[in-house]
Structure 1
Amino acid sequence: MKRLQRLDLRCSELFLQHGYNQLQARISRLVSRTGDGPLYLLIALLLAAVDGSRGMAFLISGLTIFAIELPLYLLLKNFIRRERPRGLPVFIRPSDRYSLPSGHTAAAFVMASLVAAYYPYASGAAFVWATCIGASRLLLGVHFLTDLVAGAVLGFGCAALVLFC
């Protein structure tokens, strides 16, 4: 476990301690904001309005997945209680104290999985976007790499449970 923690710390140091971190932070803030919850609801509502039964199925599946993912995320975060990175640049104020798993990353992978299931032609872009949201959280100094991996597994896992079981 200590080895993994050292790897996490080294990765954060690599991405946060260099001369370009202010520009990186601006871009990361913009990318991170695209992973805020209200945008997901707006996307799902728009699809339900313009794409008939497929859009409505997307909306219902999304609501179902998030009804599973959000409580699991909160349970894990408050059970594990991993402190956020310290002693490194931080470019936003996180909404809570703990870092594992990354909620932004989990939600982004829920959405990417939904897109892949209902709009497969856009799946590549959706997963790249989800990965960028996760990376933005590392680059903003509020998560470790393993927080992002855990978030991606949580989001994808909850989506797979609903979509394929």
Structure 2
Amino acid sequence: MPFLKSIHALDVQTFYWCMARKHRVLITNMSRAISKTADGPLYAVLAMVFWYVGETAWVIIMGAGFTVERLSYLVLKKGFKRNRPADILDNFSSFIIPSDKFSFPSGHTSGAFFMAFLLSEWLPDFQIGWYVWAYHVGLSRIFLGVHFPTDTLMGALLGSSCAMMALTMVGI
């Protein structure tokens, strides 16, 4: 357990460093906007676009992959039950109300990295852009005060792993 405690201490220290940045209002407003892009409805719209342009294989990959990603996410959330920063840090309130109680892993980050991975396969010319967006989704969740850095790191790993698995299953 000392190893986990040292990771948590580093996580809290990094979290506080992020919270102490100058231009906090600007960063918070930008974080709200970026975070909203990973709320989920955009993914459904994207699936409809794939279906409309005849890319039904991508709709199946998205559906199957997101099913595995969401189930894994829920198992991890309920299993680890890591409290959010506002619940364990003194004199701290997050800038938004999170959609659920626990923070590990970050579902927004997981979904964003899932989509970045898939979109990089479908439209590889924009790969850097997809991952810059996903990275900023993860950062936004920290700057909004609803996740610790390791929550977003594990979310990125979860989303990427599920996308890789979904693509491997269909042979892409």
- Matched with 1:131 is 135
Query: Structure 1 residues 95-104 or 119-128, which shifts more?
Result: 119-128
- Matched with 2:77 is 77
Counterpart amino acid of 2:59? L
Please report the TM-score for the alignment, with normalisation by the length of structure 1.
0.93
Whether the 8 Å CA contact 1:17–1:89 is kept in 2: the answer is no
2:35 equivalent to 1:40: no
Q: Cα gap change, 1:96/1:18 in structure 2, threshold over 3 Å: closer, same or farther?
A: same
Counterpart amino acid of 2:79? F
Q: Identify which of 31, 34, 38 aligns with 1:31.
A: 34
- Quote how far apart the aligned CAs of 1:24 are: 1.1
Q: Identify which of 127, 144, 152 aligns with 1:140.
A: 144
1-structure distance, mates of 2:160, 2:37:
18
Unaligned runs of 5+ in 2: none
- Quote how far apart the aligned CAs of 1:48 are: 2.4
- Matched with 2:154 is 150
1-structure distance, mates of 2:57, 2:45:
15
2:16 equivalent to 1:5: no
Whether the 8 Å CA contact 1:115–1:123 is kept in 2: the answer is yes
Please report the TM-score for the alignment, with normalisation by the length of structure 2.
0.90
- Any idea what SS the aligned residue of 1:63 has? helix
Count of residues paired in the alignment = 162
- Quote how far apart the aligned CAs of 1:89 are: 4.2
Counterpart amino acid of 1:155? G
RMSD of aligned Cα (Å): 1.2
Unaligned runs of 5+ in 1: none
- Residues 7-30 of structure 1, C-alpha deviations (whole Å, 9 max, x = no match): 111111111124422221111000
1-structure distance, mates of 2:24, 2:143:
8
Q: Percent identity?
A: 40
Counterpart amino acid of 2:63? L
